[in-house]
């Protein structure tokens, strides 16, 4: 087996890449179906496989490209009055959160990411949501928290998902809101890692392998959104989150 890998670049011979490919496929289907799932699955898995400073930049670049893929079909259905202030505040706070990514201990950050995803999955399974109004100051606060998380862990979704999914809007509006929010911060989220020297050749090699998987999986999820009831999808999605968080926390 070792001889079979002779001459293969070490990054591509990494068996962790196979696990990353599987996780990327699952995350892509979730993202296409629900509008979220990329970061909350891939941040803990990539961090476990390669460490946060090597794994999160791969996920951020992929998130940027996926957002561009989904955005055109979501703009018309999104509630821009709520989502744009959320995204604007998050965009401002993201570079501040990136300082944590650049300076924090990698092992501690990986375990925090795993624990955070685990708690988020449990909250979703419990059915808890924010059920109050959505005034501008609260939109800005939630967006700021999401931006700090985005910069430090690659995950802006959990507070925004719990906040936005509480409304009485139909699933189509929820999905469009999440897609628009992630798109508003996708570009700014890659700037700080790039300036900090975290986006290197290894990141681009992994991205080149994983991006086609994501590109195929997202449209599959989008098609499934039209035919699979939410009641059947939700248990699967929550189980994936718990597994991803548990692996990063205890792995």
pLDDT over 80 at 176, yes or no: yes
pLDDT over 70 at 120, yes or no: yes
Question: Nearest CA to 64 among 198, 229, 222, 179?
Answer: 179
Query: What is the rounded average pLDDT of the residues 209-214?
Result: 94
User: CA-to-CA distance for 66 and 157, rounded, in angstroms?
Assistant: 15
Report whether 241 contacts 121 (CB < 8 A): yes
Confidence of residue 5 (pLDDT cuts 50, 70, 90): very low
Instruction: Report the pLDDT value the prediction gives residue 201, as an integer from 0 to 100.
Output: 92
Instruction: Report the pLDDT value the prediction gives residue 6, as an integer from 0 to 100.
Output: 45
6 C-beta neighbours (distance < 10 Å), count: 7
Q: What is the CA radius of gyration of the chain?
A: 17
pLDDT over 60 at 1, yes or no: no
Output b/e per residue, 155-166; b: 16+ Cβ within 10 A. Answer: bbbbbbbbbbbe
Percent of the chain past pLDDT 90, that is, above it, reads 27
Long-range contacts of 138-143 (CB under 8 A, 24+ apart): 139/82, 139/85, 139/86, 139/89, 140/85, 140/86, 140/88, 140/89, 141/89, 142/86, 142/89, 143/85, 143/86, 143/87, 143/88, 143/89, 143/90, 143/93
Confidence of residue 33 (pLDDT cuts 50, 70, 90): confident
Residue linked to tokens 């020297």: 197
Query: What is the rounded average pLDDT of the residues 2-17?
Result: 55
Q: What is the pLDDT of residues 58-79, one digit of tens each?
A: 999 998 988 888 888 888 889 8
Instruction: Copy the structure tokens of residue 109.
Output: 């950050």
User: CA-to-CA distance for 246 and 141, rounded, in angstroms?
Assistant: 28
**Greater model confidence, 215 or 118:** 215
């Amino acid at each position: 087996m070792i001889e079979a890998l002779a001459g293969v670049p070490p990054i591509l011979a990494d068996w962790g890449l196979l696990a990353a490919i599987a996780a990327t496929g699952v995350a892509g289907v979730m993202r296409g179906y629900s509008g979220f799932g990329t970061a909350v699955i891939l941040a803990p898995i990539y961090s476990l496989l390669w460490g946060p400073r090597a794994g999160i930049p791969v996920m951020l670049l992929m998130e940027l490209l996926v957002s561009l893929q989904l955005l055109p079909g979501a703009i018309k259905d999104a509630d821009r009055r709520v989502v744009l202030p959320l995204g604007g505040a998050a965009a401002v706070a993201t570079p501040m959160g990136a300082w944590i990514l650049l300076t924090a201990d990698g092992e501690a950050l990986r375990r925090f990411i795993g624990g955070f995803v685990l708690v988020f999955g449990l909250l979703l399974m419990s059915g808890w949501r924010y059920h109050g109004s959505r005034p501008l100051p609260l939109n800005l606060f939630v967006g700021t928290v999401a931006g700090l998380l985005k910069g430090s862990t690659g995950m802006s979704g959990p507070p925004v998902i719990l906040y936005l999914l509480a409304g009485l809007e139909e699933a189509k509006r929820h999905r469009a809101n999440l897609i628009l929010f992630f798109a508003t911060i996708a570009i700014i989220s890659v700037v700080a890692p790039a300036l900090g020297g975290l986006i290197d050749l290894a990141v681009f090699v992994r991205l080149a392998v994983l991006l086609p998987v994501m590109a195929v999986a997202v449209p599959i999820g989008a098609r499934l959104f039209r035919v699979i009831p939410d009641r059947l999808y939700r248990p699967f999605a929550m189980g994936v989150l718990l597994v991803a968080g548990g692996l990063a926390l205890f792995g």
